[in-house]
Amino acid sequence: MSLPLIKRERIFAAVLIIPCILFITVFAFYPIGYSFYLSLHRIILSLPEIGQPFVGLENYRALLHDKVAMHSLINTFLFVFISTFFELLFGLVIALVINRQFKGRGFVRAAVLIPWAIPTVVSSQMWRFIFNDKYGLFNFILFGTDVSSYKAWLAEPVFAFLAIIITDVWKTSCFAALLILAGLQTIPDELYEAARIDGASAWQQFRKITLPLLKPALLVALLFRTMDAFRVFDLVFVMTQGGPADSTNVLQFYGYKKIFTEGLMGYGSTISVLVFLISFAVAMLYIRFIGTKLFKETA
């Protein structure tokens, strides 16, 4: 006797979903769970004879009293806030420009995506050369051929941190622009035509039509860029190695140093867990307070 159509469809849907669930479990849930497990143990790679003793929350207590970790946490939040703000700002400007009709628009749209398409390690190395103290383009623009005035920008704590932000903004603003452009494409042209007939200026059209209808796309861009900024590692690794004097240390890089340089697997995993928890909490806050408001407005 054949199964009812609805039951067959449910079975077919389950067959299609199971591979996705297995993939997420293996490549997402398992690493997260194992990191939690490691964070509850004292694991020192250079001392295998001590085994993996269970220490409970000792690593988390040590993390709260670690001045370098707390400084790295502050740096991480500063990096996320500043870089995300400017990426959304420049992304919005770029999206508004490439959304207009002009000759060669297709070429410009493709060219805008080049920074995002370049591997982060390559772009980081390129910007490290730009800020080089001997032959960097930045020094040449400021001082010309007066080599005696050249400065080691990446050796100065404040500017080294700004250099990382500049590099990240240059690379990922176009990604934010791509997401915002998708939102702009959904806004009907009839709304702008009606506004122009009513005598609305360009600024009034932007403030009353574009921004309100663009909020969902801006939320998506904000969420993606914030989560990605919290995981920043390669920029710091290539450009500054966390220096000078830990001024550019971020949590991800500090955790890497603890695991692979000092061999503190348990403590380094604790830092990774902290990054995950912060990212998860921020994502939930975005969805809860910003996303809910948007859904109410569009309902």
Residue spans of the domains in the chain: they are: 62-298
Task: Give the whole-angstrom CA distance, residue 40 versus residue 31.
Answer: 15
Question: What's the pLDDT at 87?
Answer: 94
pLDDT > 90? residue 271: yes
Question: What's the pLDDT at 168?
Answer: 95
pLDDT > 50? residue 253: yes
Residue 82 in tokens: 């500043």
Task: Give the whole-angstrom CA distance, residue 15 versus residue 62.
Answer: 46
Given 3-state DSSP classes, what are the helix, strand and coil percentages for the chain, each rounded to the nearest 5? 75, 0, 20
What is the DSSP code string of 108-130?
Answer: HHHHHTHHHHS-HHHHHHHHHHH
For the stretch 97-154, pLDDT in tens is 998 888 888 888 888 889 988 999 999 999 999 998 888 889 998 888 888 888 888 9
Question: Between 27 and 289, where is the model more confident?
Answer: 27
For the stretch 47-59, pLDDT in tens is 888 888 999 899 9
pLDDT confidence band for 294 (50 / 70 / 90): low
pLDDT > 80? residue 292: no
The secondary structure of residue 3, as a DSSP letter, is P
Cis peptide before 212 (omega within 30 of 0): no
pLDDT > 80? residue 289: no
The answer to whether the CB of 207 falls within 8 A of the CB of 93 is no
Q: Crossing angle for the helix pair 157-185 and 211-230, nearest 10 degrees?
A: 140
Instruction: Please report, rounded to a whole number, the percentage of residues in the chain having pLDDT higher than 90.
Output: 39
Residue 99 in tokens: 């959304």
Question: What's the pLDDT at 1?
Answer: 44
pTM, two decimal places: 0.87
CATH class of 62-298: mainly alpha
For the stretch 202-242, pLDDT in tens is 888 888 888 888 888 888 898 888 888 988 899 999 999 98
Is residue 84 helix, strand or coil?
helix
Question: What's the pLDDT at 2?
Answer: 55
pLDDT confidence band for 291 (50 / 70 / 90): low
Q: Which residues pair with 272 in a beta bridge?
A: none
